[in-house]
Amino acid sequence: MGIDEDDFFEAIATFKGASKRLEKIAEGQSSVAYKDFAHSPSKVMATTNAVKEQYANRKVVACLELHTYSSLNAEFLKEYKGALDAADVAVVFLFAACSRN
């Protein structure tokens, strides 16, 4: 890719990750909250699995917000099957905009 190895290691040492991807938003003595901007069922599953792996001895609560047209499409919804299985508690929040005529 044309990147010098030394430059890569210098840059990666300060890389904080992609914005909105598994971003820690709060931490207390007994809990940690992350947000993740996963766009696909496979990314939701990967995030849920990664958090459970990192906190294997903790209760993991996963909340998935579905609000786009494709996410709420009946044919596409089945693609999410199993995406939150690694969580101890799974919550799905549906956001549907209503229009008034």
**Tens digit of pLDDT for each residue in 30-44?**
999 998 887 789 999
Give the mean pLDDT of 44-50: 94
DSSP string, 5-37: HHHHHHHHTT---STTSSEEEEE-SS-EEEE--
Question: pLDDT for 69-100, tens place per residue?
Answer: 666 777 888 889 999 999 999 998 877 655 55
The CA-CA-CA angle for residues 78, 83, 30, to 5°, reads 145
Taken in order of first residue, the domains within the chain and their CATH numbers are 5-94 (3.90.190.20)
pTM of full prediction above 0.75: no
| C-beta separation of 47 from 38 below 8 A | yes
Query: 3-state DSSP call for residue 74?
Result: helix
pLDDT for 98 = 56
- Distances, alpha carbon 86 to alpha carbons 13, 33, 53, 62, in Å: 30, 16, 9, 9
